[in-house]
Amino acid sequence: MANKMAAIVLAAGMGTRMKSGLVKVMHTVAGAPMIAWPVAAAFDSGVERCVLVVGHQQEKVREYFSGRDEVSFAEQSEQLGTGHAVRCAMPALDTAAQTVMILCGDTPLLTAATLRGMLERHRETGACVTVMTATFADPFGYGRIVKGEGGGIVAITEEKDASPQERDIDEVNAGVYCVDRAFLEQAVGRLTNDNAQGEYYLTDVVRQAAAQGLDCLAYRVGDAQEISGVNDRVQMAEAARVLRERINRELMLSGVTMIDPAAVYIDLGVRIGRDTVIHPGATIKGKTVIGEHCEIGQGALIKDCSIGDAVVVKAGSVMEQAVVRDEVAIGPMAHLRPGTELSPHVKIGNFVETKKAFMGEGSKASHLTYLGDATIGRDVNIGCGTITCNYDGVKKHQTIIEDDVFVGSDVQLVAPVKVGRNSLIAAGTTVTMDVPPDSLAIARAPQVNKEGWKLRKK
Ligand code: UD1
Ligand code: CA
Written as one string, the DSSP assignment of 206-255 is: HHHHHHTT--EEEEE-S-GGGG----SHHHHHHHHHHHHHHHHHHHHHTT
At residue 12, does pLDDT exceed 90?
yes
Q: What is the mean pLDDT of residues 298-312?
A: 98
Ligand nearest to the CA of 104: 1
Q: Give the separation between CA 287 and CA 306, rounded to whole angstroms.
A: 8
Q: Give the separation between CA 37 and CA 40, rounded to whole angstroms.
A: 5
68-125 tens-digit pLDDT: 999 999 999 999 999 999 999 999 998 899 999 999 999 999 999 999 999 999 999 9
What confidence tier does 2 reach under pLDDT thresholds 50, 70, 90? Answer: low
What confidence tier does 306 reach under pLDDT thresholds 50, 70, 90? Answer: very high
The CATH number of 4-227 is: 3.90.550.10
Q: Look at residue 331 in the predicted model and tell me its pLDDT.
A: 98
**Helices in 228-373 by DSSP H: which ranges?**
233-253
Atom of ligand 1 nearest to the CA of 231: 35
293 is known as an active-site residue: no
Residue 404 zone, left/alpha/beta (φ > 0; ψ -120 to 50; rest): left
DSSP-derived secondary structure letter, 304: S
Q: How far does residue 209's CA lie from ligand 2's centre (Å)?
A: 23
The DSSP bridge partners found for residue 218 are 131
Q: How far does residue 228's CA lie from ligand 2's centre (Å)?
A: 8
Q: Look at residue 1 in the predicted model and tell me its pLDDT.
A: 43
For 119, the 3-state DSSP assignment is: helix
Which run of H or of E encompasses 278? strand 277-278
Residue 18 CB burial class (10 angstroms; 0-12, 13-18, ≥19): buried
For 320, the 3-state DSSP assignment is: strand
Is residue 157 within 8 A of residue 139, CB to CB? The reply is no
Percent of the chain at pLDDT > 70 equals 99
Q: How far does residue 387's CA lie from ligand 1's centre (Å)?
A: 57
Mean pLDDT of the chain: 96
CATH architecture of 233-441: 3 Solenoid (2.160)
Confidence (pTM): 0.91
Q: Crossing angle for the helix pair 36-44 and 112-125, nearest 10 degrees? A: 50
Q: Rounded to 5 degrees, what angle do the CA atoms 18, 22, 23 make?
A: 75
For the chain, first and last CA: distance in Å? 101
Find all residues with CB under 8 Å of 165, minimum gap 6, and list them: none
Residue 304 zone, left/alpha/beta (φ > 0; ψ -120 to 50; rest): left
Q: Could you state, in order of their start, the residue ranges of all structural domains in the chain?
A: 4-227, 233-441
- Residues touching ligand 1 (Cβ under 6 Å) are 10-13, 53, 76, 79-82, 84-85, 104-106, 142-143, 156, 158, 172-175, 201-203, 229, 231
Q: Give the separation between CA 428 and CA 430, rounded to whole angstroms.
A: 7
